[in-house]
Amino acid sequence: MISFNEALDILLATATPFGTGRCSLASSPGRILADDILSDVDMPPFNKSAVDGYACRISDLPLVMKPDVQTRHAAVPSHTASRTPGGETRHAASLQMVGIIPAGTVPTHPIGPGECAKIMTGAMVPEGADTVIMVEDTEELPDGRIRFTADTTAPNICYKGEDIRQGDLVLPGGSLISPPGIAVLASVGAVSPTVYKQPKVAVISTGDELVDPKEIPGPAKIRNSNSSQLIAQLGQMHLEALGLGISGDSKEELYAKIDEGLAKSDVLILSGGVSMGEYDYVPGIMSQLGVEILFKSIAIQPGRPTLFGRRGSGFVFGLPGNPVSSFVIFEILVKPFLFKLMGHTYSPPLIRLPLGVDFRRKKSSRKSMLPVFIREGEIFPVDYHGSAHIHSYIKAEGMISIEIGTTERKKGELQDVRLL
């Protein structure tokens, strides 16, 4: 039996990406970028209005400058408000409207003293203007002039290059592409990014007691829930799994099914048949099929009889049949392995919170993973009857890990929760 950390180390050391290819933006969610992406433009690419309003000169406004507004304006080199020693600005009573600037057009007229131009959000701020007053802070006078009605204003300009400069790294290689990541790729024109190849993953459930979920189980039978669960977990990683159904527990059927699974996949995930039962033939058959077994027992609860092996460029997991074990081991071991195979270092979402109740368990030589929920910033255990009790995980918002040697934790002690 090896420790959880040893098992994880073996998995991560074994997994290396097996190639890259290009994909379209539309098919990039969940893919892992292979190359660094640099921006080909400044962002914003021009001084851009942040509001609908009027572009004008700060020195024309009847306002008292706030310190932060002064600083912001001070960053704009060629436009400075002319202020009295008391901090008041010189101003005109109202502004002459000299034009209208829609988004997407280049303004043709610079703004002179006492002038303004109506401007839309996202439009280019014209020469001469250093401020955009919000339309809500203005009124149009009967003669068409514009009067500023507030006491103060922000510049309301997104300055050229303030977010990103041309040549800046916007997404490093190894990043998991998220929806905001896709927005970034689109904004820099990276329309066919180079991504790591996805492994072909196949799933087999083993057990003479199993029937397909659409069947009514006969006496001593249960429905196969692991295959659906594993395929869904893979789906959350944007991996489309090949479901190879159920194998009975006979040596012949298992041999044929595992042989098929190895031939059709880069990573084969089996559930069931790996513990100490009379008909747990999976490890022996893997050896017969030339699979080198790298571990087959981990000091973890649930999930002790977890097997991992490789054959040529392919890999195989044998997960314990109990649905909670299969779920948990996928989350904590298979998932980081698959991500590493795709060039991504996975770190689970963790938050550190106080326990809401005292926690006790029997002395154990295994690390335990337990389902928990969070209420008002504290952690509570979900009612959990053991590794067959998959219903407990419906209510679980996360898992906590209780380390080997720990039997007691007190209410209020801080604990990492791995969010699900």
Q: Would you tell me which residues interact with Mg ion (CB under 5 A)?
A: 207, 272-273, 321
How many residues bind ligand AMP, per CB under 6 A? 19
> In this structure, are residues 259 and 288 in contact, taking their beta carbons and an 8 Å threshold?
no
> Between 222 and 357, whose beta carbon lies closer to ligand AMP?
222
Binding ligand AMP by CB under 6 A: which of 94, 96, 205, 301?
205
Among 321, 343, 356, 371, binds ligand AMP (CB under 6 A): 321
Closest CB to ligand AMP among residues 202, 341: 202
Q: What is residue 66's DSSP assignment? A: P
Q: How far apart are the first and last CA of the chain?
A: 27
Distances (CA, A) of 187 to 31, 148, 398: 18, 35, 35
Question: Measured between alpha carbons, how far is 160 from 42 in angstroms, rounded to an integer?
Answer: 7
Residues 114-151 as b/e (b if ≥16 CB within 10 A, e otherwise) read bbbbbbbeebbbbebbbbbbbbebbeeeeeebbebeee
Q: Which of 14, 225, 297, 406 binds ligand AMP (CB under 6 A)?
A: 225
Binders in 322-341 for ligand AMP, by CB under 6 A: 322-323
Q: Cβ closer to Mg ion: 321 or 336?
A: 321
Phi, psi of 132 (to 5 degrees): -120, 115
- The rounded distance, in Å, linking the Cα atoms of 144 and 58 is 20
Please report how close the Cβ of residue 369 comes to ligand AMP at its closest, in angstroms: 17
Residue whose CB is less far from ligand AMP, 1 or 388: 388
Distant-in-sequence, close-in-space partners of 382: CB < 8 Å, separation ≥ 6: 370, 371, 372, 373, 392, 393, 395, 396
Q: For the chain, give the number of residues.
A: 420
Query: Which residue from 44, 126, 181, 273 is in contact with ligand AMP, where contact means CB under 6 A?
Result: 273
Residue whose beta carbon is closest to ligand AMP: 321
Q: Is the peptide bond before 44 cis (omega within 30 degrees of 0)?
A: yes
Stretch that binds ligand AMP, among 131-139, 233-241, 269-277, 363-371 (CB under 6 A): 269-277
Q: Is position 271 an interface residue for ligand AMP (rule: CB under 6 A)?
A: yes
User: At 286, which helix (H) or strand (E)?
Assistant: helix 282-288
Select 47 or 224, whichever has its Cβ closest to ligand AMP: 224
Which positions from 274 to 313 touch ligand AMP by CB under 6 A, shown as an x/- string?
-x-x------------------------------------
Instruction: Select from Mg ion, ligand AMP, none the partner in contact with residue 323, using the beta carbon and a kind-dependent cut-off of 5 to 8 Å.
Output: ligand AMP
* 401 contributes a contact to ligand AMP by CB under 6 A: no
Q: Contact positions toward ligand AMP, by CB under 6 A?
A: 205, 207, 209-210, 222, 224-227, 271-273, 275, 277, 320-323, 388
